[in-house]
């Protein structure tokens, strides 16, 4: 069949208005599980400090009737530090760009800052916290950096050939990566036992996408699925029933895929020196610029309460 003669169709027309949806669809992930799970106390200095302590080993305690009391040896607390890290994201839009009629947003600069840069900044924060890097004090030419979680976990870690725990477990050195190997339930159980022996009660297993699927095959723990009650996570999670308590298995896109973190979450915190904030930059021409920033650090309240299986394959 063909169109009748002189039929005026849309392909002949000019001036048809565009059909552009007034919604912008974004697929990029934005959830930050670790940051959401831990506490955010106030930091008051660029070098954040805290103290840890431990009890003497348990023993068979028996004394002779009528004996004099001898003072038990006392040990000082351990004073630890981490450096606050300033992170920011910025955007600049021309005055014309802010004046034209745009679809899906009324102001391009506000869209760039509030709906993109602010979310990107939270992802950067999550990545820094879960990184394997030592703290950097910083100076006039070097940015201060916090020590990521890889530089703290040392007491209860399982790693590949050639790997090593971070020296000092005080954030001063990154852990040494070893040969990658497959994630097994035996590795996880060994870390859980070590953590229990050292007084910890982990409640979360945080892993990347590949090893999240591996963890689903750990049948001995009776892994089961349930709906998350934590409104900050907005997700379902599975629970691994270990010999020493339940672990929520939470996937995290922004941690190193080679790490499986066994965390007692209340023994970690993210102190905030400057909370998330934004401000305009000086106007120098026919454009406007704004920045969003935050200054924060990682507090390892007692790394011996947590652990990790490191140097895992990711494909």
The residue among 203, 207, 196, 310 whose CA lies nearest residue 265 is: 203
| Residue 97, phi then psi, degrees to nearest 5 | -60, -30
Write down the pLDDT at residue 234.
45
- Per-residue confidence (pLDDT) for residue 220, from 0 to 100: 57
Can you spell out the DSSP letters for 146-196? Answer: PPPGGGT--TTEE--TT-BPPGGGSSSSPPBP---B---HHHHHHHHHHHH
Provide the 8-state DSSP code for 254: T
- Report domain extents, the chain: 33-50+79-309
What is the rounded CA–CA span in Å between residue 134 and residue 147? Answer: 4
Q: Is the dihedral of CA 125, 131, 137, 142 positive or negative?
A: negative
Q: Per residue of the chain (315 residues), give pLDDT as tens.
A: 787 786 667 677 777 666 666 665 666 667 899 999 999 999 999 999 999 998 999 999 999 999 999 999 999 999 999 999 999 999 999 999 999 998 888 999 999 998 899 999 999 999 999 999 999 999 999 999 999 999 999 999 999 999 999 999 999 999 999 999 999 999 999 999 999 999 999 999 999 999 999 998 886 545 554 544 554 444 456 889 899 999 999 999 999 999 999 999 999 999 999 999 999 999 999 999 999 999 999 999 999 999 999 999 999
- Residue 276's pLDDT is 96
Q: Are 214 and 86 in contact (CB under 8 A)?
A: no
What confidence tens digit (pLDDT) does each residue in 234-257 have? 445 688 989 999 999 999 999 999
pTM of the shown model: 0.88
pLDDT tens digit sequence for 285-307? 999 999 999 999 999 999 999 99
| pLDDT recorded at residue 231 | 47
pLDDT for residue 232:
46
């Amino acid at each position: 069949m063909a169109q009748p003669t002189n039929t005026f169709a849309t392909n002949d027309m000019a001036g048809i208005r565009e059909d552009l949806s007034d919604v912008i669809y974004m697929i990029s992930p934005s959830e930050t599980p670790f940051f959401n799970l831990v506490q955010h106390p106030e930091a008051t200095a660029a070098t954040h400090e805290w103290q840890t302590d431990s009890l003497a080993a348990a023993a068979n305690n028996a004394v002779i009737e009528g004996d004099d009391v001898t003072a038990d040896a006392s040990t000082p607390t351990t004073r630890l530090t981490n450096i606050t890290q300033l992170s920011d994201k910025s955007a600049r839009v021309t005055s014309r760009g802010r004046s034209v009629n745009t679809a899906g947003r009324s102001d391009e600069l506000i869209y760039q800052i509030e709906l993109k840069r602010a979310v990107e900044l939270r992802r950067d924060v999550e990545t820094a916290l879960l990184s394997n890097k030592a703290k950097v004090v910083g100076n006039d030419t070097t940015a201060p950096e916090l020590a990521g979680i890889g530089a703290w976990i040392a007491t209860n870690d399982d790693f590949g050939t050639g790997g090593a725990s971070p020296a000092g477990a005080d954030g001063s050195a990154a852990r040494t990566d070893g040969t990658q190997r497959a994630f097994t339930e035996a590795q996880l159980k060994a870390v859980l036992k070590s953590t229990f022996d050292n007084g910890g009660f982990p409640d979360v297993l945080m892993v990347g996408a590949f090893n999240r699927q591996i963890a689903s095959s750990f049948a001995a723990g009776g892994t089961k699925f349930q709906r998350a009650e934590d409104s900050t996570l907005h997700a379902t999670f599975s629970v691994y029933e270990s010999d020493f308590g339940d672990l929520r298995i939470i996937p995290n896109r922004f941690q190193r895929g080679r790490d499986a973190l066994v965390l007692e979450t209340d023994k970690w915190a993210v102190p905030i020196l400057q909370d998330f904030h934004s401000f305009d930059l000086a106007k120098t021409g026919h454009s406007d610029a704004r920045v969003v920033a935050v200054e924060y650090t990682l507090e390892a309240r007692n790394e011996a309460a947590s652990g990790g299986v490191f140097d895992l394959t990711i494909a």
